[in-house]
């Protein structure tokens, strides 16, 4: 259409590759004004057992089976693998989605991770310093051991700022503690909150503004503690320990009915039509320290990135170990569809 001269921008013929801003430029096709699409964002609490794709050749259930007709045109921002659950964002704003997934902007994702065995403090420090994977060094922004069970499993809270394929699972495999349950609690400033498993909601204007803010670190939730509370400047600088409440690791579950996702909790947590509370865990006491990446970049293994790319908003440069914090653990419109996969 552009080569045929049917498209104009501000009254002049459009050229291939030119950029336009529909908030100020007038685009016409065959003399008809092109109206910009309204930006849409949806938060979905993905259950286990669903694949993050629009169509699955194997006939498995997809996340789009959970969405209404009016939301089927949205595309997912990153991915959660079939065995993972938690927050998944969908939108028609391709430009903002690509920015959230680009490593430059270091959008923080928080996960609750149940693993086999109990990682030592040295193993957790390896996650923060960086572990070598087949596709390069992978580093956690912070990690905290929350609970240990008599069954020989542990629950941790991990924050990462990358989005490689199955990254979180591969990181824990690298330190000898395979993941058996993975739950994403937050993506940048957006939290799963009280959204029930299998349900969705539209983001508020305030949430969309936080996600689409421009500049490095946009949508970054790293300045918050895992519970969503912003730590005081004194605690950020001194690393003063804080007491908190943890969660007991859930036991393995099997034998889920055919056609229903494996439950992360009690049957009431399975997909339903209500929107009351999110997954709950029994209270416990944290018995270990929270390790963060607040260390000079020269002390970490090289990952091929500049040291400035690892700094987090609102964090001290001296860094070190912290005490446990409160919290619980895991478009086709305006740009091209992002193909990156979130690390899990």
CA 287 – CA 145 distance, rounded (Å):
8
HEC-encoded secondary structure of 61-105? CEHHHHCCHHHCCCEEECCCCCCEEEEEEEECCHHHHHHHHCHHH
CA 260 – CA 272 distance, rounded (Å):
11
Overall residue count recorded for the chain in this entry: 344
The H or E element that residue 45 is part of is: strand 41-46
For residue 245, what are the β-bridge partners?
285
CA 92 – CA 337 distance, rounded (Å):
9
Residue of 4, 65, 81, 93 marked catalytic:
81
Closest listed residue to residue 110, CA positions, set 325, 285, 338, 337: 325
CA 114 – CA 234 distance, rounded (Å):
31
- Supply the DSSP symbol for 265: S
CA 84 – CA 169 distance, rounded (Å):
10
Closest listed residue to residue 161, CA positions, set 324, 322, 293, 295: 293
Buried b (16+ CB within 10 A) or exposed e, 310-335: bbbeebeeebebbbbbebbbbbebbe
SS3 133: strand
> Do 159 and 226 meet the contact criterion of CB atoms below 8 Å apart?
yes
Establish whether 81 is a catalytic residue: yes
Active site residue ranges = 81
């Amino acid at each position: 259409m552009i080569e045929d001269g049917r498209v104009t921008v501000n009254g002049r013929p459009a050229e291939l590759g030119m950029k336009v801003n529909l908030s100020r430029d007038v685009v016409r096709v065959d003399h008809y004004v092109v109206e910009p699409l309204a930006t849409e964002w949806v938060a979905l609490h993905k259950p286990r057992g669903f694949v993050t794709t629009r169509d699955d050749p194997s006939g498995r259930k997809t996340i789009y089976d959970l969405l209404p007709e009016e939301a089927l045109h949205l595309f997912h921002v990153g991915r959660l693998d079939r065995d993972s659950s938690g927050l998944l964002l969908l939108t028609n704003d391709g430009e903002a989605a690509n920015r959230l997934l680009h490593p430059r902007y270091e959008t923080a994702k928080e996960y609750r991770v149940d693993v086999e065995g109990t990682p030592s403090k040295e193993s957790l420090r390896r996650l923060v310093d960086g572990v070598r994977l087949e596709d390069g060094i992978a580093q956690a922004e912070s990690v905290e051991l929350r609970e240990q069970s008599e069954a020989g499993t542990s629950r941790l809270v991990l924050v990462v700022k990358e989005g490689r394929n199955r990254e979180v699972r591969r990181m824990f495999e690298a330190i000898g503690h395979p993941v058996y349950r993975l739950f994403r609690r937050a993506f940048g400033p957006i939290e799963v909150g009280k959204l029930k498993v299998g349900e969705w909601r539209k983001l508020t204007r305030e949430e969309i503004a936080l996600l689409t803010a421009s500049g490095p670190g946009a949508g970054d939730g790293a300045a918050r503690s895992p519970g969503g509370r912003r730590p005081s400047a004194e605690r950020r600088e001194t690393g003063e320990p804080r007491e908190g409440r943890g969660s007991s690791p859930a036991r393995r579950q099997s034998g889920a009915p055919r056609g229903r996702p494996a439950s992360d909790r009690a049957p009431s947590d399975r997909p339903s039509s209500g929107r009351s509370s999110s997954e709950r865990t029994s209270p416990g006491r944290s018995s270990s320290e929270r390790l963060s990446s607040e260390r000079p970049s020269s002390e970490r293994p090289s990952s091929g990135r500049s040291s400035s790319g690892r700094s987090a908003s609102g964090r001290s440069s001296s860094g070190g170990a912290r005490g446990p914090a409160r919290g619980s653990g895991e478009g086709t419109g305006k740009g091209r569809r992002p193909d990156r996969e979130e690390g899990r």
